[in-house]
Structure 1
Amino acid sequence: MKKSAGLVMYRFKDEQLELFLVHPGGPFWAGKDEGAWSIPKGEYLPGEDPFEVARREFLEETGLVAEGEFLELSEIRQPGGKKVKAWAFAGDCDPSAITSNTFSLEWPPRSGRFAEFPEVDRAGWFESGAARVKILKGQLPLIEELCLLINS
């Protein structure tokens, strides 16, 4: 079973909770918005420290170093079966300034041509209600738990 680890960065702006989400890059996700956003995360292998993987993936997908106090969230299971372990932390950034690593994909399919795509093509801050609509359905429990834990 595949396992991923990630981080949920949050902030309060004008006393309103906002969550930092990323939009996956590549042609499959290009026209999708609601229900397509994610927390920065990535898969890890047995023996790897999920927290260290979460910090590494956050850096690779955003170009930002995650620092501060981290709040451990409950592990969730997405509809496809993948388990996701996440931590939340307070932070701030300019979403337009993120930099993401890339991946290679044959595009168009079966064309024999490969193209490079960013793992994350954009990021944004969303108040908690909007984040609930934007995030992948399987990751919604992470937002719900965070909102309960920080009373928002």
Structure 2
Amino acid sequence: MSDKRSAGLLLFRRTPEGAPQVLLGHMGGPFWAAREEAAWSIPKGEYEPGEAPRDAARREFEEELGLPAPEGDWRDLGEARQSSGKLVTIWAVAADLDPERVVPGTFTMEWPRGSGVLREFPEIDRVGWFGLTAAEPLLVPGQRVFLERLAALLDGDAAG
């Protein structure tokens, strides 16, 4: 079991018809380039013991998207253990963000593997807004539970 932890922020908005949409990022780098299904993620990242998860979620949002994390009512969607063993904590916040404004952070890796050549790739190569049904197959499987939790939260809001 991994002791790694990640925290992130799931932005949501409503269409004019009232249907919820979420902002997801397509993972960058050569492994993900030709994939769509299970290749999108909630903007998130690892944090070390001693850093508050909420602070990490804010920092990672800014690092991955190049934009400040939105203010507003951060709604706790809880945590979920990924297949890697990593524990991920996610908050949801209502916000609208223009995907054209995103300036992704980058990472460096050897590519092609074994070549000795280091190349830089965007952490997220594109972002988009998706309805909950469309988002589910795109999102990596371990994060899909957060879509269910968001839907339940929004249903609770509508009923209240």
Normalised to the residue count of structure 2, the TM-score between the two structures is 0.92
2:38 aligned to 27, 35, 40, which one? 35
Q: Which runs of 4+ in 1 moved over 4 A?
A: none
**Per-residue deviation at 1:97?**
2.2
2:73 and 2:128 map into 1 onto residues whose CA distance is 21
2:5 is matched with: 3
1:96-123 deviation digits (Å, cap 9, x = unpaired): 2211111111111111111110111000
1:131 is matched with: 135
**Per-residue deviation at 1:35?**
1.1
Q: Secondary structure at the match of 2:144?
A: helix
Q: Match of 2:149, as an amino acid?
A: E
**Per-residue deviation at 1:32?**
0.9
Normalised to the residue count of structure 1, the TM-score between the two structures is 0.97
1:12 aligns with 2:14: yes
2:28 aligned to 5, 14, 25, which one? 25
Structure 1: where are the runs of 5+ without partners? none
Structure 2: where are the runs of 5+ without partners? none
Within-5 A mapping of 1:3-152: 3-14=5-16, 15-66=18-69, 67-151=71-155
2:106 and 2:39 map into 1 onto residues whose CA distance is 18
1:74 and 1:101 map into 2 onto residues whose CA distance is 26
1:26 and 1:97 map into 2 onto residues whose CA distance is 20
1:55 and 1:13 map into 2 onto residues whose CA distance is 25
Q: How many residues align?
A: 152
Root mean square deviation, CA, Å: 1.0
Give the % identical residues. Answer: 50
1:38 and 1:3 map into 2 onto residues whose CA distance is 15
